[in-house]
Structure 1
Amino acid sequence: MKPRAPAVFERLDLLEWPYCQRLAAFSIHRPWLATLRLASKAGDWPIWVALILAQPGLHDSGGWHLAAHYGLTALVAIAFYRLVKTRLCRERPFITFSGIACREPARDRYSFPSGHTMHAVMFATLVAAHTPWLLPWLLPVVALIAVSRVGLGLHYISDVLAGAAIGYGIALTSLPLAG
């Protein structure tokens, strides 16, 4: 038997799909589509691994401690994300609505919450606490990652907002542990 998403998602899907469809429609423009795909690929893991590994070089002391903190926080986020995603089972917009094109292969069937956005906001929050001078470079990347999820037809807007809220919450919860 196929898992069923909570009824609230069915209502949200109907409310959000016209906006998702409009945002996804912009991806017919090749430069924009290439930008969204690049942002999505960066948000997969490379930028976050680079940020973790850069911590010792960015801080005179305690850089290895921060690298470990960022890595462990990311692992907690992944575990929480998988737990939520496999329990709530909200199908991706391109699966539910034929008018939304999928412009990038999806890893799975479910969209809630956006893991890419969760990690982007989580790392931006950690950077704001420890290396705020990096934010002017990181925030545009975070915004592009979030937009890419809807623009590529992989997520609803509420998936992205929930991912951002979860990432922010996990980062804030972890900050006292950073020392």
Structure 2
Amino acid sequence: MNKIQQWDLRVCQLCLLHPYNRTLARVSRIVSHSGDGPLYLLLALLLWQQGARGQGAVETSLFAFALELPLYLLLKNSLKRARPSGLPVFITPSDRYSLPSGHTAAAFLMATVLAASYPEWAGSLFAWAGMVAASRLLLGVHYGSDLLAGALLGVSCASLALGWGQG
């Protein structure tokens, strides 16, 4: 087992093998659902009504997701990393593989795009994205390195989309 796998396993054990894991899982389910696709659609509709700044954020988000989704699917289906096993799991994941975390990628993508349009909310946006990522670990469906890869994917695609819009 390599060092990353050892670290991943230790982090999962620390986060999932304690007496409060069910309580954390209840909260984590709510936080995780805040990073589901339908809520992004609702957010886009609300932002669109806010005028040029909100519309620009929606357009940039759509472009960023157009970059992120194919990369996410390619990575997930090429790497085929198994989800954590032998530890508590509190939800049924939507697919078989864990790397990268799609919820984390989407949350960091949105946080990055929205922070560019609404810098006054940057701290709260990235705190929310971090909580979405942590919720996936606390629900038992991802390793820590899955979350880091998801965050990197989301921020990278958002940054490319933001840079493209300025060029």
Which bracket does the TM-score occupy, shorter chain normalised? 0.7 to 0.9
Q: CA deviation at 1:77?
A: 1.0
Q: Percent identity?
A: 30
RMSD: 2.0
SS of the equivalent of 1:93 reads coil
Q: What's the counterpart of residue 38 of structure 1?
A: 30
Deviations for 1:103-134, whole angstroms, at most 9, x for unmatched residues?
11011221001111111111111111111223
Q: Contact 1:36 / 1:151 at 8 angstroms: preserved in 2?
A: yes
Q: Could you list the runs of 5+ residues in structure 1 that have no partner in the other structure? A: 1-9
Give the AA of the match of 2:155.
Y
Q: 1:18 aligns with which of 10, 15, 22?
A: 10
Instruction: Assess, with a 3 A threshold, how the Cα gap between structure 1 residues 66 and 138 changes in structure 2: closer, same or farther.
Output: closer
Deviations for 1:131-165, whole angstroms, at most 9, x for unmatched residues?
12233442332121010111111111011011111
TM-score, structure 2 normalization: 0.87
Q: CA deviation at 1:32?
A: 2.1
| CA distance, structure 1, for counterparts of residue 143 and residue 57 of structure 2 | 33
Q: CA deviation at 1:18?
A: 1.8
Q: What's the counterpart of residue 161 of structure 1?
A: 148
1:27-176 to structure 2, matched below 5 A, reads: 28-58=20-50, 60-61=51-52, 63-94=54-85, 98=86, 100-176=87-163
Q: Contact 1:120 / 1:145 at 8 angstroms: preserved in 2?
A: yes
Instruction: Assess, with a 3 A threshold, how the Cα gap between structure 1 residues 26 and 173 changes in structure 2: closer, same or farther.
Output: farther
TM-score, structure 1 normalization: 0.82
| CA distance, structure 1, for counterparts of residue 68 and residue 140 of structure 2 | 23
Q: CA deviation at 1:48?
A: 2.2
